Amino acid sequence: MNKVYATLLILLSTSFVLTAQNKKELQAEIESLKETLSTTQTALSESKKRENISLARAESFEAQLEDLKVTNAQLLKNMSTFMEASTQKTDNIGRALESLREKEAKLKTINETLNANDSTALLLLTDFKKSFGEEAEIKVENGAVAIKMDKGILFGANASNVKIATDATPLLKKLATVLKAHRSMFITVEGNSTNGTGLDMATRRAGALVDYLSKTHQIVPERIRAVGKISSGEALLVKVHPNFDAFYLMVRSDMKQH
């Protein structure tokens, strides 16, 4: 019986020792697991923090991307508007340059015409001086060459005479020769008077000279005309000039077109 008690006591002691040992090991294992859990939780917390930072950055990048898209769209729109405006300005400049070229061409034509008229006027002046002498009263004004005719030779001493005198034949022959040599020029016979009373006589004498030159020397009627004018002196002028009417119409037509 004592042996049985002794055996039971030994078994209980052994069991107690084993239980204490297992409990110690279990506590050590628990502590190890707690430490691992703490480390894991810390790592997880750090991971979540980094995740939050990454999400915030991603949201920031997305916002910046949207801003860039809006800015890019506006830039493209502005570029398109600029290109349209630039194209329109280029077209306008092209049209303006073309208009300037046309005007330059017209001005060149006008200048060439004026220069040609000046050359013709100079030649005409030379011919008048050769035919009538250096003492003749000849002047150039407003593109016309004007020669003053002696009314005493043309109509005689009678102040009321409107018929060409016989003594004027040689003088008018010289005049007709010069006029025929310049067939492109037009002729205006201008009767001048200082007052309205004498204007009628001045105009009639201008008409008589025109009639004489047309009939006697075959000056084409379309080239020659008579006018009366009140001026500062009594004179009968023969003015030879370009076709001012046609020239004026050409210039006016060009100006209307531009």
Specify which residues 229 forms β-bridges with: 192
How far apart are the C-alpha atoms of 258 and 252, rounded to whole Å? 10
> What's the sign of the alpha-carbon dihedral 119, 123, 128, 130?
positive
> Given this model, what pLDDT does residue 248 score?
47
> Given this model, what pLDDT does residue 250 score?
45
Please, are residues 183 and 241 in contact by the beta-carbon 8 Å criterion?
A: no
Q: What are phi and psi of 17, to 5 degrees?
A: -60, -45
Please report, in angstroms and rounded to a whole number, the separation of the first and last CA atoms in the chain: 147
> Given this model, what pLDDT does residue 220 score?
95
Give CA separation, 255 vs 57, 102, 143, 146, in Å.
71, 11, 21, 30
pLDDT tens digits in sequence order for the chain, 258 residues long? 566 666 666 666 666 555 666 777 777 777 777 777 778 778 777 777 777 777 777 777 777 777 778 877 887 787 777 777 767 777 778 776 676 666 555 555 444 444 455 567 788 889 999 999 989 999 988 888 999 999 999 999 898 899 999 999 999 999 999 999 999 899 999 999 999 889 999 999 999 999 999 999 999 999 999 999 999 889 999 999 988 554 444 445 555 555
| DSSP-based three-state secondary structure for 135 | coil
Contacts of 124 by beta carbon, 8 Å cutoff, 6+ apart: 145, 178, 182, 185, 240
How far apart are the C-alpha atoms of 108 and 27, rounded to whole Å? 117
Residues 42-52 as b or e (16 or more Cβ within 10 Å = b): eeeeeeeeeee
Per the structure block, which two tokens stand in for 23? 């409990």
How far apart are the C-alpha atoms of 5 and 114, rounded to whole Å? 157
pTM: 0.55
